[in-house]
Amino acid sequence: MWIALESEEQLAAIQSRSFEQPVVIFKHSTRCSTSSMVKSRLERSDTPEGIAFYYLDLIRYRSVSNRVAEMFGVEHESPQVLLIRGGNCVYDESHMAIRMEELAEMS
């Protein structure tokens, strides 16, 4: 399900890809129990077809996380999910409000 997001260079590719299909970026803190619970809940959900899912370990790749916030004009939160379509963030949510069903509806 997850494609690892580990470099700022990948963000340009994600932005380009979002013109062809919706892209989800899940920003996860490996030190946060809420983030772990949300990640587990997403992984247990049915994955909608046609959406690319990227996983960002924001503790390990803090600069990438900061660039995501800058590039897509969102406040940094953790855990956080962003839906990128047409090069822009069209939806973002955090903490327990993150739901796969909502991502499917918004894509």
The chain-wide mean pLDDT, for the chain, equals 95
pLDDT in tens, 61-87: 999 999 999 999 999 899 999 999 999
- % of the chain beyond a pLDDT of 70: 100
Q: Which domain holds residue 7?
A: 2-106
Beta strand 80-85 with 88-94: parallel, antiparallel or unpaired? antiparallel
Instruction: Note the pTM of the prediction, 2 decimals.
Output: 0.95
SS3 51: coil
Domain count, the chain: 1
- C-alpha distances (whole Å) from 45 to each of 55, 83, 100 are 16, 17, 7
Q: Is the dihedral of CA 26, 31, 32, 36 positive or negative?
A: positive
Show Cβ contacts of residue 95 under 8 Å, excluding neighbours closer than 6 positions: 34, 38, 77, 79
> What's 91's domain CATH number?
3.40.30.10
